[in-house]
Amino acid sequence: AEAGMTAVSISASAIDLLTAERIILNFMGRLCGIATQTSEYVKLLAGTGVAVYDTRKTTPGWRRLEKYATRCGGAVNHRNGLHDAILIKDNHLAACAATLSGDDGSDVIGEAIEKSRELIQDVVAAGNPIDAAMPIEIEVDTLEQLQIALSHHPDIVLLDNMSNDQLRNAVALRSDVAPEVQLEASGGVTHETIRAIAETGVDRISVGALTHSAKSLDVALDWTSLGSP
């Protein structure tokens, strides 16, 4: 796309066009900005084989639209909500530590993964319409936590705010213990850092900035009367 190009043509009555003009431009500016921002991140990973994923850090009420925009930019959608994938985060582990494993919270990571599997099986057995192969992902921020998580073979492990050296060590550990598990890097990813993160060997990188920091494009509606060139 280039400045000045026509993105879309609309034909309607003058009253309808003028009534809807600002709403149309707000939607297009916001969503085109997200798609453009996403495309920039995706291009930075060219040749690495690493996928860019979006997050749930979206504008309330706009998630489907904003995730559509990230797809247009070349990213892959992460889960749309709490219903289509299990992501066990640090706050879940903190809340469940006492109830799952006693006061010391030992191996709460492993128990959380196993309890998630049991939950999916129970929900499917009860006839509820969910995917029996719903992915289970767990967030860790140390290599020690990763070691525990890998021993329970979740589908994905999210490596939160790890340095590039830690990420490389995490990839080596995964390859030794559970090569089928995907590794996702996340946390403060920018244009300047994403390529180096990809080169550590992770499988995917989730970027909240695709949606929460995208700048709206300057989109305008220019009037053309019938019969004009």
**108 lies in some domain:** yes
CB 42 within 8 A of CB 35: no
Active site residue 215: no
User: Could you give the number of structural domains in the chain?
Assistant: 1
Residue 92 maps to which CATH number?
3.20.20.70
> Which entry of 56, 57, 71, 168 is annotated as an active-site residue?
57
Q: Burial level of 92, CB count in 10 A (0-12/13-18/19+)?
A: middle
Whose tokens are 């919270």? That residue is: 105
Tell me the mean pLDDT in the region 80-95: 89
Q: Is the pLDDT of residue 68 over 70?
A: yes
Residue 60: per-residue pLDDT: 95
Q: What is the percent of the chain where pLDDT is above 90?
A: 70
**6 lies in some domain:** no
**188 lies in some domain:** yes
Q: How many CA atoms lie less than 13 Å away from 184 in the CB half-sphere?
A: 22
Tell me the mean pLDDT in the region 65-91: 93
CB 161 within 8 A of CB 206: no
Give the DSSP letter of residue 215.
P
Whose tokens are 């030992």? That residue is: 106
Active site residue 160: yes
> Which entry of 139, 174, 203, 204 is annotated as an active-site residue?
139
**9 lies in some domain:** no
Residue 229: per-residue pLDDT: 47
Q: Is the pLDDT of residue 39 over 70?
A: yes
Residue 225: band (very low, low, confident or very high) from pLDDT cuts 50, 70, 90: low
Q: By residue range, what is the domain housing residue 191? A: 14-212
Beta strands in 86-228 (DSSP E): 86-88, 136-140, 156-160, 182-186, 204-206
Tell me the mean pLDDT in the region 114-131: 86
Residue 201: per-residue pLDDT: 98
Active site residue 139: yes
pLDDT in tens, 151-163: 999 999 999 999 9
**3 lies in some domain:** no
**109 lies in some domain:** yes
Residue 100: per-residue pLDDT: 58
Active site residue 111: no
β partners of residue 88: 138
**222 lies in some domain:** no
